[in-house]
Amino acid sequence: MLELKEIQDKVIYDQAAIEKAVKELGRKISRDYEGSALLLVGILRGAYVFLSDLSRVIRIPHTIDFMAVASYGDASTSSGVVRIETDLRQNVEGKDVLIVEDVIDTGLTFKQLKKTLEARHPRSVKICALLDKPSHRKVDLKPDYTGLVAPDTFLVGYGLDYLEHFRGVPYIFSVKPGALEPLQAAGKLL
């Protein structure tokens, strides 16, 4: 049984910091997409917490849907080839699609997803990420909406997992140096 106290090091973003960032994103998105057919697409699994909060601070009509994707290879050898495990229920034709991610690292997932979705003729495809880790980027990509620019350290909580655990922790924390080894062994470190 994994205990939070065994792996948590520092709190990087507390609940107040996250709430502030999410509210600000909600304000910008509500302003920019006014009058459009906004569809928020959460990328499972990490985005579920963020999408839930973001949807509740967007003050314009919108719909939501989800996709689950898997990239071939582990994090460090990510090929950029994304396999769709669960596809959208909605037809995106003519819609303004906003992909909602917990974090952008290499940018490969979004690059591939954008290509896939654009082939379905939406009006637009943009991305909103709560966290951006530009130091990990492998492709030229600047998210259209970013909540927080994150340090180059493994982060957990608010949807982000430690070997599938602790996604429900309401703040975001770094892990103790001793807890990095299992991540390395599982190929989760970039």
- Which residue in 114, 110, 92 sits closest to 101, CA to CA? 110
8-16, 103-111, 117-125, 173-181 -> range binding ligand PRP (CB under 6 A): 103-111
CB 59, min distance to ligand PRP, A: 26
CB 179, min distance to ligand PRP, A: 17
Number of residues that bind ligand PRP (CB under 6 A): 14
What is the chain's percent helix, strand, coil content, to nearest 5?
Answer: 30, 30, 35
Closer to ligand PRP by CB, 42 or 122: give it.
42
List 53, 102, 105, 132, catalytic entry: 105
Return d(Cα 105, Cα 79) in angstroms, integer. 13
Contact between residue 150 and residue 130 where contact means Cβ atoms under 8 Å apart: no
Active-site residue flag, 161 = no
- Angle value at C-alpha 54, between 165 and 76, nearest 5 degrees: 45
51 binds ligand PRP (CB under 6 A): no
96 binds ligand PRP (CB under 6 A): no
Closer to ligand PRP by CB, 103 or 179: give it.
103
Burial class of residue 82 (count of CB atoms within 10 Å of its CB; 0-12, 13-18, 19+)? buried
108 binds ligand PRP (CB under 6 A): yes
Residue with tokens 């509210």: 23
43 binds ligand PRP (CB under 6 A): yes
User: Which positions lie near ligand PRP, rule CB under 6 A?
Assistant: 43, 45-46, 78, 101-109, 161
